[in-house]
Structure 1
Amino acid sequence: MIVIDGLTLDLADVAAVADGEDVILAPEAVVRMDESRKSAEATALQRPVYGRSTGVGANRGVSLMEADGGDTHGLKLLRSHAVDAGKPLDRRTVRAMLVVRLSQLAAGGSGINPAIADALAELINADVVPEVREFGGIGTADLQALAGTALTMLGERPPLGGDEVPVSLAGWATADALPFISSSALTIGQAVLSQQKLSTLLDNAASVAALSFIAMSGNSEALSPAVAAVADTSAVADAAHALHAMVEGSGQPARIQDPYCLRTLPQVFGSQTEELAALGALLSRLVTAGNENPLVHGSPSDGSNDVAHHGLFQMTNLARRVDALQLAIGAACATHLRRIDLLCDPKYTGLHPFLAEDGSGQSGLMMLEYVAAAAVGRIRANAQPVSLQTVVLSLGAEEDASFASVATARLESTADALATVAAVELVCASRALRLQGRQPEEFASSRLRSMMRAGFTLPSDVGDRDLRGDLEQAIELMRASL
């Protein structure tokens, strides 16, 4: 059970809820939301409040206070903003969105009725997932996804898989409509899941690179404490220390200087982990950031109640952080491919070409390099910066967009492709080490031993055969915490 208090939420907890963990709202969060609701109500009596007493977008100058027919604008807003298109997102991604939105609401900046948050928590715990489709958000709030969620909570739109909605709200006040959908919870949730996946994946990929280093008798001077001491960033120094600890005592180097794919491992992995950590730090703030527009603050009890209309819904920083990580991963791919290539080269391993059974023209692992290259093509395409994009919408009222939603969707694709690239390297490095007669017990590093043992669970048959099963097993190993 994950407690949602609106103040702290670990990224691992977001992933846990995405995987099925239940949630509970902390009592103090409910109190905070109710105080925010009272503040918003009092402020709306004193001044125009966007989306509460006015229309939205280009209709922001239209007063709702003059409208007739009762409190129907909120429902109209949700229905009109719920349109999306494309393939439905998976349950895990949507559950991540739901828990992020619940956490943000619990922060108390929206002015929403706490009953909405209670209903959202109930939806999560019943594992009823709204059907959210891939096209809708442009990095300025996931209005479509959250409006569609509201319709599911109202019983107007069937959930994914046709599950029965546990609670059907009787209505949705105008005062609660925009505050519910004014969030980039889907984009943030997607980014969290990819960041968590990449955290495990990059750690494993570094261990696999160490196996390749040993299989090719690399020179550990490039990873030495002396080199780490003059590294340009602490992340590069940390990577050098970690890699040196794994390969230390592996044997005499074959060369005075290795190819770049071995000699620059600290920079390659250090830059990736540095960008991953920066993204994680930003996401840790965003999952509890009550930055709805308008932001409700102060209290009517002392007359400090007010709202602040702002543009924090523009996920500019998130888009740029994801772009930076994508570039770091994309740049590293050249070294992945080169290590795979050299592992298949007799000059570097002393084995048959392509790590085949013999030198009679067998293909061995030849085609795995092509698979890795195809995955690298996907990664490099994804690394083209998304944050350079822009658009003008809503009769010119909204003249920019971050497209962070596109960036985070690409990051998920990159994580899957990187798992394939690292898995190909694992298959090659493990086969080379096995053919060389190396054993995990030779090495002091428990991290290296764990990865070598994992690699040695792959089939030992070196004859030409269908390698799909080997690669699928290796991909699962790359995604696991070893």
Structure 2
Amino acid sequence: MASRAITLDGVRVRPSDIADLASHGEVAVRADPSGLDRAAAAHRAAQEIARHRPVYGRTTGVGANRTEDVAAADGDTHGLRLLRSHAGGIGPYVPADQVRAMLAVRANQILAGGAGLQPAFAEALVQALGSGHLPRVHEVGAIGTGDLTALAETGLTLIGERPWTGGRGAPPAPVTLEPGDALAFISSSALTIGQAALAWARIAASLRAANVVAALSLHAVDGGSEPYDAEVHAGRPHPGIAEVAAEMRRLLGGPRRGGRVQDPFGYRCFPQVHGPAVEAVARVERVLEIEVNAAAENPLIRAAGGGSVHHHGGFHQATLALALDHLRVALLQSAQLSAARLATLVEPAFTGLRPFLADGAPAASGVMILEYSANSALADLRGVAQPAALGHAVLSRGVEEHAGFAAQSARQTLRAAESYRLVLACELVAAVRAVRQRAHPAEAAKPGRAASGSVASGSAASGSVRSGCPVPDPATPVGAAFAAVASQLDPRTEDRPLSADVERAVALLDALATV
């Protein structure tokens, strides 16, 4: 799907704009003239201020070298040395979509008008986004106080010292580096913010899809809707919990009487566990809405009132790091519940079907391996859920004595997003198979059926499971979702590799997010 046109203005850009722009190789993107005017005014103010007083990074060194003056005659080479010395990123190269996110965030921040940087840098970034030209930047080097290495590598590319990669036609013409430009350009966490925007978009969609997957599983195990009743949540109105309960009521299309007095936690406590993840992803969005439009460079240059400079710590990303850390822990809780529901789907006591939703072949394994795969992905998610903010660093001869490690948190959140999708996809494959099999119990004893809707043999049903169960009413959202997904997932029930099924289910999650 082609991306919509996006205008970067330094004021009203949303995290979804950054994610959309980053996820497409060819986009219509432009810099708003008012943003370019703000950037130009701040650039003029910075030049004038630096003539009359010390300005960090313009007339001084950086870090512990802040007490060393830079002579006016050395200003041109000081900035070049700063870019070269800080372009020391290590590890793998950053994927293209994350680089595009970084370029978009940095261009938009410059247009906010606080960097004191030439508008030509923002214009070159916008041109690169439009033509598909990207700098090559390393992943490792930031600690949550600015993406110095990645942006230094980008800066060297913008001035023509490093080559562009990819793209159509000619790359942006080299920007001439002026005194003060180097620090003004790299004083940002644009890569971290861009990565966080991508992770947020993927997780937000997956959390919406998880509601649908849980509703399908509920139908497959003959679960009830009582835990989602409005009366249950009226006296304990946590916003995320109430939102999830209301969404389950909408998806199910009305009250549903289950086959048990009460269902396992995977269903009964779904709002209470999934709701905090919904709140956490909303918190990340609010933080990102500020960060993508932030004039947070140090020093901050203001053109109003004849111009002013402020030396500060606004570049520090503790707020973003903590929001991302919280999101991953909440996401882990939701994923654990998905794995718990998967365990009920392979259990005859909950479905009335054969163990592991197997067909009629003796000792068939069915979807047994999905539990292993889901728990493997869950273990990966558990590993990256460790809060990055627990780290600590004292750098630059002790003058920078704290770090929030937002860069690490953003990368961990990207990995968490992928692991979460794998867990959900395993549940989705099993839920669809269980619904199919319960809808056609007469086919139970026929092994290896390949026709759509074929089912495996059911074991003796538990007394709490009604024999047979029609597919969800297609007039309900969950019924429409089942019809759409079932038409895309392989109906064969014989023992066979399920990797392709899970891959297809992962691809279907984005569609489920819009049901």
TM range (shorter): over 0.9
- Which of 500, 505, 514 is the aligned partner of 1:469? 500
How do 1:314-353 and structure 2 match up within 5 A?
314-353=316-355
Aligned residue for 1:59? 65
**Contact (CA 8 Å) 2:250, 2:477: kept in 1 or not?**
no
Secondary structure in 2 matching 1:87: strand
One-letter identity of the residue aligned with 2:481: S
| Shift of residue 158, structure 1, vs aligned partner | 2.1
Secondary structure in 1 matching 2:218: helix
**Contact (CA 8 Å) 1:293, 1:309: kept in 2 or not?**
yes
Aligned residue for 1:3? 7
Aligned residue for 1:442? 473
How do 1:82-101 and structure 2 match up within 5 A?
82-101=87-106
| Shift of residue 456, structure 1, vs aligned partner | 4.3
- Unpaired stretches in structure 1, ≥5 consecutive residues: none
**Contact (CA 8 Å) 1:216, 1:348: kept in 2 or not?**
yes
Q: Do structure 1's residue 50 and structure 2's residue 56 form an aligned pair?
A: yes
Aligned residue for 1:395? 397
Aligned residue for 2:21? 17
| Alpha-carbon separation, structure 1, partners of 2:98 and 2:277 | 24
Structure 1 residues 95-104 or 334-343, which shifts more?
334-343
Structure 1 residues 408-417 or 66-75, which shifts more?
66-75
Structure 1 residues 225-234 or 130-139, which shifts more?
225-234
Give CA deviations for 1:365-389 in whole Å, capped at 9, x if unaligned.
0001100000000111111111111
Q: Name the % identity.
A: 40
* TM-score normalized by the length of structure 1: 0.95
| Shift of residue 74, structure 1, vs aligned partner | 0.8
Aligned residue for 1:150? 155
| Shift of residue 445, structure 1, vs aligned partner | 2.5
| Alpha-carbon separation, structure 1, partners of 2:198 and 2:53 | 40
Q: Do structure 1's residue 141 and structure 2's residue 156 form an aligned pair?
A: no
**Contact (CA 8 Å) 1:296, 1:306: kept in 2 or not?**
yes
How do 1:4-403 and structure 2 match up within 5 A?
4-18=8-22, 19=24, 20-64=26-70, 66=71, 68-69=73-74, 71-161=76-166, 166-169=171-174, 171-249=176-254, 252-299=257-304, 302-303=305-306, 305-358=307-360, 360-403=362-405
| Alpha-carbon separation, structure 2, partners of 1:83 and 1:428 | 47
| Shift of residue 12, structure 1, vs aligned partner | 1.9
**Contact (CA 8 Å) 1:343, 1:354: kept in 2 or not?**
yes
**Contact (CA 8 Å) 1:352, 1:359: kept in 2 or not?**
no
| Alpha-carbon separation, structure 1, partners of 2:427 and 2:477 | 20
Give every structure 1 segment of 4 or more consecutive aligned residues whose post-TM-superposition deviation is greater than 6 Å.
Answer: none
| Shift of residue 351, structure 1, vs aligned partner | 0.4
| Shift of residue 448, structure 1, vs aligned partner | 4.6
| Shift of residue 454, structure 1, vs aligned partner | 1.1
| Alpha-carbon separation, structure 1, partners of 2:196 and 2:384 | 14
| Alpha-carbon separation, structure 2, partners of 1:7 and 1:58 | 33
| Shift of residue 443, structure 1, vs aligned partner | 4.9
* TM-score normalized by the length of structure 2: 0.89
One-letter identity of the residue aligned with 2:15: L
| Alpha-carbon separation, structure 1, partners of 2:255 and 2:20 | 38
| Alpha-carbon separation, structure 2, partners of 1:233 and 1:448 | 28
| Shift of residue 70, structure 1, vs aligned partner | 5.8
Compared with structure 1, are the counterparts of its residues 385 and 53 closer, same or farther at alpha carbon in structure 2 (3 Å cutoff)?
same
- Unpaired stretches in structure 2, ≥5 consecutive residues: 440-468
| Alpha-carbon separation, structure 2, partners of 1:23 and 1:53 | 35
Aligned residue for 1:404? 406
Secondary structure in 2 matching 1:174: coil
